[in-house]
Amino acid sequence: MTGKIYALLVGIDNYAKSPLSGCVNDITAVEEYLRDRIPETRLAIVKLIDAEATRQNIIDGFTTHLCQAGSEDVALFYYAGHGSQGKAPQEHWHMEPDRLNETIICWDSRTGGVWDLADKELAYLIDKVGQRDPHIVLIVDCCHSGSGTRDIDAVVRRVDEIDKRDRPLNSFIFAQESADIASRGYQENSAGWQSKRKNHILLAACRSDELAKEYNGDGQARGAFSYFLLHNLQKANGNLTYRELFESTNALVRGKVNDQSPQLEARNSLRDADQPFLGGAIAQRDPYFTVSHDKQYGWIVNGGAVHGLQQPSKGETILALFPFGTDVPQLRDPELTTGTAKVTQVRQQLSKVEISGIEIEAENQTFKAIPIALPLPRLQVSFEGEETGVELARQALKTAGPLYRPSLYISAVENSEEIDIVLVADKGQYIIRRPRDDRPLVAPLPLNSSHAGYTGDDALKVIRRLEHIARWTNTLELSSPAASGLRPSDVKMEFVLFDTETASTASAMRLEYEKYNGELVPPTLKIRLTNSSQRTLYCAVLDLAENFSVNNPFFDSSTVKLEAGAEVEGRWIDLVVPDELWSQGITEYKDIFKLIVNTQEFDARILEQDALDLPTRSLGDTYQSLFNSKSNTRDAVASRRGRSYDDWLTKEVAITSVRPQAVQSVRSDSSIGLSQIVELQPHRHLKAKACLSTVPQATRDLGNHILPPILRENPLLIQPFKFTVTRGADPGLSCLELTEVEDPTVVTPEAPLKLLVDRQLQENESILPVGYDGEFYLPLGRSVSTKDGKIEIRLDRLPEPIGKQTRSVLGAVRIFFEKVISQKLGTSFEYPLLAVASVDPQGKVSYQKDIESVKQKVAGAQKIILYIHGLTGDTQSLVPSVQTATVEIDGEKRSLGEFYDLVLTYDHESVNTRIEETARKLKQRLEAVGLGANHGKQLDIIAHSMGGLIARWFIEREGGNQMVQHLVLVGVPNAGSPWATLQDWAFTAITLGLNNLSAMGWQASGLTKLLDCIEQIDISFDQMRPDSDFIQQMANNPDPQVPYTIIAGNRSLAKAAMEAGEESSRLQRLMQKLFGKTVDAVVEPAFWYQANDLTATVASIKEIGDDRDPPPKKLPDTPCDHLTYFTGEAGLHDLAIALFPPDSSPVIRPTPEQPPTPAQSDEKQEKPFWTKPWFIAIVILLIAGVTAYLVAVNRSQENERDTSMKGDRELAIDERRSA
């Protein structure tokens, strides 16, 4: 028997950044479950939630709590919170190809120098716990990375931005014991977590290339994985094995949430996975509840929410009551019941009930009870869109039920956290989709958009469709009650594959079409059921397809009878991806096979239903008989006399059928159609075969190298671009596979490979094609919108093929297409644009652009700060620094914005307009709002990159020195930049970011701005060349006599970039792959060996002569690069120092009419009397008189001294003569 359970439960919602909403709920539910099922004497729990879950407290929880577990005990670590990744020290690079460690984020991580808890530190702690050889279990509901597989169809939870700080080895908890302890004995599992080789069980929420999602369970925010894990534990009677728990949880999560695949990892998978959960510590419940009278609550049942009972608002739960002395086998005999109990209030551990059917109620009576009617949850539907269509649908909902009553299956909701499905009324059509996902689940109604408007008939039809989906969902979630007498191990369900005759009990499988006699054929399988119990059972296996059909494909009869110990096999079936879907580019189709086991024969045909997209047959009254029967109805019904009450259980297996798109040869003279909307243009020299595929299909040989981390961080800015308008469950075609590639180098910028897509992009959208060549992630090209409204994707290069394919002996080139959404203002604005900017507490920038409004704001302000952006993006990324850059005055930190009355921005077209012209227009815009020469206000400018050259030209050549009091130059290439073209610089910067080779961690928003540059031409960059006429003119500009402060970043490359291999550094290899033979013309190699910010050298940035008056103030080099001046801690610090040095208080800097004075009110003050001319004249006269008097006195004293000395000499002579 298992000894004691030591549990460390950690849940964090209240993060300082990116808070979550369901983690504490998960941990609370886990604690309640453990306390309910394990005796208090055998349970020791340490629970850390929110502020308690510091890094040190979690470490202490392992070392001081879990380390108490001995060889007969269980050590459980359950974590719900943010997962992430962090830069790995160089000593870990051999284990981490992407140079990133997986981490969990503690409550105080990334604050005050506190680090995340890395996977290698967790492994070290597990090793410590394992020294006394307990049974170790880790359950982790978080994720540390995403991929192109993710969709925004649920609330993504528990993943945060990568920690991009350089982490030294001595910051790891094991550093003091051994410098190389992290290098020994590690293995990585499919969940992505590295662990030492101590025996332990790991249950993880998802694969390393997926995101964990949140889920609304029982009216509260939960993690999808935690919710269904606890759901299965609560429903189980007795111990589940880890395999059984995983399989049931995996199937439910896959059925309810897209692109999340829970993982079970065990050191010895066959032996350890078949151990009972927590070593068998969970006590087996009696196969019944107990109903008794309580002084406080009245009649109660000893089951509550933790046991899976539903609140009455979700339908009625009815229990049959038996005398307490009734033997367990007799609890199924309705003749022995003494009455019923209806649940009226559900608490965590118990529920209140109403007793009926008992002639004499005595408070000292106790009953055994079993459920005979359970509620079915309603589908929670949000109605959105055009009001006319929405109102018709709401009216149809009110009369869709029996006798024109409201629907029994769906409810209208407004709370976003409770929504299961969204019904959208748009342009005369009803569209059904999941929350936060624009893809329709089924065909719209009507099929084509109608100008005739909405009709009541269509509104009722769409409500029927929603009821259809609700019934499908109820069948999927159908599960046995907690008091069931059947155990999951009583029936074994196996799938036998035709081609190998092997049997699988996995809860999730992916089966691809295979070649047979020269053509692709669907996977074929049959089912095998084995009764491991000691009684006769009745089984049904239903196929719940993603088109919301339910059918029984394996057996002719509704159910099959299985005697004790017997085995039965069903017929062979093909898992087909229908032609009508495949022709639309849908290559994957998911079926969930539901096993229902009962001790009594039942009719499973009443659960069957047709596909929604096909004409539906009349279901009649028999269809609802199961869900409206005694065991499933929402309403109370009479006792089932003459029928026995039955035990039952359910299991689920999800199988995805994959039918790849047809492979075609790339042609040299004509296009080929890859799908209905995608054409691959001819290429004269490329020899290869091509097809479109989904990300899961394309990742057979890439492992976790699907997309680099920076592309997974922010799905609001970067998403997979899908070449098909898919259904809600289909991953979509977002990858181009090239096989049998003879020579990838024939694709060049001069001879690109082009795809023409019959889709339109929004103005702020572009497509980034990315490939992985086994060492580097490479940007492969760009997209442009054609005149006829299509998208042309130009591939300027191909990566080297990797992996082995079943269709060829050569490797494959896989290209993933990401849609990048930039946050630029857009060309609909008339550039250049001078605007008033404001920043809300979340850092969102809003603009006021009307010139009269700007003029009015300027008139009411005295101290003004103006931002001018550079090459990348617009001022939207700069302005938040007025909040994030802080100045410390008298021990108090204050933001820059507190010292200014107004924030102005100057957004300009930064690439196709010459710098001089943009500078002249800046002057015009300022004059137009009242900031002309000698305006009498304080105007400071913060200018980034090329924006600094604009500001300098304006000040030094256009009279701006009469308008500006202080210019802060941030990363400005004053002596020019060595890059040949803007595109070369942007492509290089993007590649460094993709491969985590920049010294500073970049955010996804920085990448979007770089992508904007790729599509531009190079006039402005030509002006920034060191030998350009413009730079030479700037060097000879007159002294404007305006204070300048220069900030220069000196971080561009990570150490890994300069790490030399056998022949070259990683940087050299990367540049060679990116630019090929032209690499030396892109930028001089010597540039990388000088201090630089990626765009210019520090020497260039500081190249303004010190002979000016006043001389420019050049701050010490800043540890940041060109993209992080306004987001990194170092850049923000120096920005504050530039404007308000620590050794001086804020001052109003001089204008031609005003000397420098301490900051004061705007009221005009009388000049002091000592500054008056008359007072100064009197002082001069007094000084002159005193001076003359002192001179006269001095002369008189000198005469007296001379006379006295002369007398003394004459007296001495007389005395000598007398002698």
Q: pLDDT tens digits for 535-559?
A: 899 899 999 988 888 888 888 887 8
Q: Among all chains, which residue has been given the structure tokens 């971080």?
A: 1051
Nearest to 118 by CA among 194, 205, 16, 203: 194
More confident residue, 882 or 274: 882
pLDDT in tens, 993-1031: 888 777 666 766 667 777 776 665 544 467 888 989 999
Maximum mean pLDDT: which of 103-117, 132-146, 211-225: 103-117
Q: What is the pLDDT of residue 246?
A: 81
The answer to whether residues 738 and 807 touch, using CB atoms and an 8 Å cutoff, is no
Q: Average pLDDT in the 2-6 region?
A: 86
pLDDT in tens, 718-735: 888 888 765 555 677 888
pLDDT at 473 over 50: yes
Maximum mean pLDDT: which of 12-21, 72-81, 319-328, 1178-1187: 72-81
pLDDT in tens, 888-941: 887 788 899 999 999 999 998 876 788 999 999 999 999 999 999 999 999 999
Taking the C-alpha atoms of residue 1134 and residue 1138, their distance in angstroms, rounded to an integer, is 6
Confidence of residue 306 (pLDDT cuts 50, 70, 90): low
Element (DSSP H or E) covering residue 1034: helix 1029-1035
Stated length of the chain: 1219
The pTM score is: 0.65
Q: What is the pLDDT of residue 1194?
A: 65
pLDDT at 615 over 50: no
pLDDT at 626 over 50: no
Residue 427 makes CB contacts below 8 A (sequence gap 6+) with 386, 449
Among 163-172, 274-283, 462-471, whose mean pLDDT is lowest? 274-283
554 CB-side CA count, 13 A:
25
pLDDT at 713 over 90: no
Q: What is the pLDDT of residue 145?
A: 36
Q: Average pLDDT in the 773-797 region?
A: 88
In one-letter notation, the amino acid at residue 848 is Q
Among 272-286, 298-312, 1193-1207, whose mean pLDDT is lowest? 1193-1207
Q: How many other CB atoms are there within 10 angstroms of residue 1215's CB atom? A: 9
840 CB-side CA count, 13 A:
5
Confidence of residue 636 (pLDDT cuts 50, 70, 90): very low
Q: Average pLDDT in the 1185-1210 region?
A: 59
More confident residue, 487 or 31: 31
pLDDT in tens, 324-373: 888 877 876 778 888 888 999 887 668 898 888 876 556 677 888 888 77
Domains and CATH numbers, the chain: 5-280 (3.40.50.1460), 289-373 (2.40.10), 379-477 (3.40.50), 488-601+646-658 (2.60.40.10), 664-821 (no CATH), 833-977+1018-1054+1093-1143 (3.40.50.1820)
Sequence-ordered alpha helix ranges (H) in 418-500: 456-477
Nearest to 241 by CA among 553, 420, 487: 487
Q: What is the pLDDT of residue 828?
A: 47
In one-letter notation, the amino acid at residue 974 is N
pLDDT in tens, 33-83: 898 888 888 999 999 999 999 999 999 999 999 999 998 899 999 999 988
Q: What is the pLDDT of residue 890?
A: 78
Element (DSSP H or E) covering residue 1072: helix 1066-1075
In one-letter notation, the amino acid at residue 483 is A
Sequence-ordered alpha helix ranges (H) in 964-1003: 982-994
Give percent of the chain above pLDDT 70.
77
pLDDT in tens, 448-457: 776 668 899 9
Among 376-385, 435-444, 821-830, 833-842, whose mean pLDDT is lowest? 821-830
Confidence of residue 966 (pLDDT cuts 50, 70, 90): very high
Q: Average pLDDT in the 96-110 region?
A: 82
824-827's contacts with Cβ under 8 Å and 24+ in sequence apart are: 824/764, 824/873, 824/874, 824/876, 824/1009, 824/1012, 825/874, 825/876, 825/907, 826/763, 826/764, 827/763
pLDDT at 1204 over 90: no
Give percent of the chain above pLDDT 90.
27
Q: What is the pLDDT of residue 267?
A: 62
Q: What is the pLDDT of residue 155?
A: 45
Residue 540 makes CB contacts below 8 A (sequence gap 6+) with 552, 555, 558, 559, 560, 595, 596, 602, 604
Nearest to 457 by CA among 547, 387, 386, 389: 389
- Whether a cis peptide bond, with omega within 30° of 0, leads into 1085 is no
Q: What is the pLDDT of residue 1000?
A: 67
Q: Average pLDDT in the 107-120 region?
A: 87
Cα-Cα-Cα-Cα dihedral sign, residues 212, 218, 220, 226: negative
More confident residue, 7 or 607: 7
Kindly report the average pLDDT of the chain as a whole number: 79
The answer to whether residues 1092 and 1050 touch, using CB atoms and an 8 Å cutoff, is yes
